[in-house]
Amino acid sequence: MEATLYRHDVALAHAVLGGAQHHEIRSRLYLSLRDGASRGVGEVAPQPRSLNGDPGVDEVVAELVETVIPQLLAIRDREGALASWSRWGRLVGPRPASRTAVALVEMALLDIELRREGCALDKWWPAMHDPGVQRAVSLLDGEAEWPDLAGVRRLRAKVSPSGVHPAALDRVAAAGLPVILDFNATATDASQVHAVIARVASHLDVVAIEQPFRVGNLVDTAALAREIEPLMSLDEGVRSLVDVEQIARYEAARLLCVKPARVGGLANARAVIAKARERGMRVYLGGFFESPYARHVHRLLAQHCDVEASDVAPVATRGTPLALVKSDVGLGWELNEDVLEVSTTRLRCRASEP
């Protein structure tokens, strides 16, 4: 068996200014697993640095190289077979980077399993509905280039207690779409949130306020949820089934953003979505500016599950993107190994004979 880790640093074509960071550069990690004649590829796109409980890319690389990939190879050597993709998410460890690292391996294992069965993911997960696309924009930057909004059903607009840019507010209002105001945990008290709502309420159709306070502050979040008319949404605070239960217990939110890389992969994401729906909460699928490869997988997940407009549209980047080839089996697209070798930085290559 061979496991090869690659890193591809890209500049986003449409940077997004948030209250906690400026989304300009993203590092996409690809894991190529080759087991006999079978090969699968997974992808995650971690934050540039640790923020609000999400690990930075260097932490994820270290977790993969030092713990998760050796664990995968050890299981293969010991049991003579690859670990099942659907059970791999149970191996999530206590470190924040573990969930992202496990998610990367899981996607590659899923690709291999599908290819061995001669099946495509859209046959395993048939589309049950069309959730539609959500796009991220900024109310803090009046001059940023925007992605195409054709067919977009909702905007997630970055805000902060510092206020909003008048030109950005006019532009978001002109789009005429429902808006989630995303604070990214930058507010310290309810008055700051109320002030932003008051500033934009007459201009925008605000449907939700997202993650106003630091991760884990469910008491203040629940209190604010009772004071405002838009839904309360949580993003960075959704990492596990336990989080969903706690959010429901405190009645802290009625809308959740579930990101597969944050919860430990696709199987865990499906479980979290099901639990949230069971507890009466609405859900949408979020992301970390992944390439079209992972975004395609997330779109199939969103179409198969009961979720709202989600962050599943391709993310444009500057420069030449990685070439994808349509595939009738596996995840639906294929990343050629030669493309990865030429276009990315190889971080690790280790072979282990069965």
pLDDT tens-digit series, residues 6-38: 999 999 999 999 998 999 999 999 999 999 999
Mean pLDDT for 31-58 is 95
Q: What is the mean pLDDT of residues 132-146?
A: 95
Helix residue ranges, H only, the chain: 57-63, 69-79, 85-88, 96-117, 121-124, 166-175, 190-200, 218-227, 241-250, 260-263, 266-278, 292-304, 337-343
What is residue 72's predicted lDDT score, i.e. its pLDDT?
94
At 191-225, the pLDDT tens digits run 999 999 999 999 999 999 999 999 999 999 999 99
Cα–Cα distances (Å) from 196 to 56, 139, 141, 245, 258, in that order, read 29, 11, 15, 29, 25
SS3 333: strand
Query: Which of 156, 170, 99 is closest to 289 using CA atoms?
Result: 156
* Number of neighbouring beta carbons within 10 Å of residue 27: 21
**Structural contact between residues 28 and 290, judged by C-beta atoms closer than 8 angstroms:** yes
Q: Would you say residue 351 has pLDDT above 60?
A: no
pLDDT tens for 55-112 read: 999 999 999 999 999 999 999 999 999 999 999 999 999 899 999 999 999 999 999 9
The answer on pLDDT for 353 being more than 50 is no
User: What pLDDT shows up at residue 350?
Assistant: 61
Task: Report d(CA 316, CA 326) in Å as an integer.
Answer: 19
> How confident is the model at residue 354, as a pLDDT?
40
Q: Indicate the range of 17-26, 307-316, 338-347 predicted with least confidence.
A: 338-347
Mean pLDDT of 231-255: 98
Higher pLDDT, 100 or 336: 100
More confident residue, 295 or 352: 295
Confidence (pLDDT) at 170 = 97
Q: What is the pTM of this model?
A: 0.95
Q: What percent of the chain has pLDDT over 90?
A: 89
- What's residue 349's pLDDT? 66
Residues with Cβ within 8 Å of residue 61, at least 6 apart in sequence:
5, 7, 29, 347
| Summary mean pLDDT of the chain | 94
> What DSSP designation does 215 have?
T
Number of other CB atoms surrounding residue 119 within 10 Å: 14
Q: Which residue has the tokens 């579930």?
A: 258
Q: Cβ contacts of residue 89 below 8 Å, gap of 6+?
A: 102, 103, 106, 264, 265, 266, 267, 268
pLDDT, tens digit, 9 for 90 and up, residues 256-281? 999 999 999 999 999 999 999 999 99
**Percent of the chain residues topping a pLDDT of 70:** 98
CA distances from 223 to 5, 199, 281, 353 (A): 44, 21, 17, 57
Sequence-distant (≥ 6) Cβ neighbours of residue 171 within 8 angstroms: 137, 142, 146
Report helix, strand or coil for 234.
strand
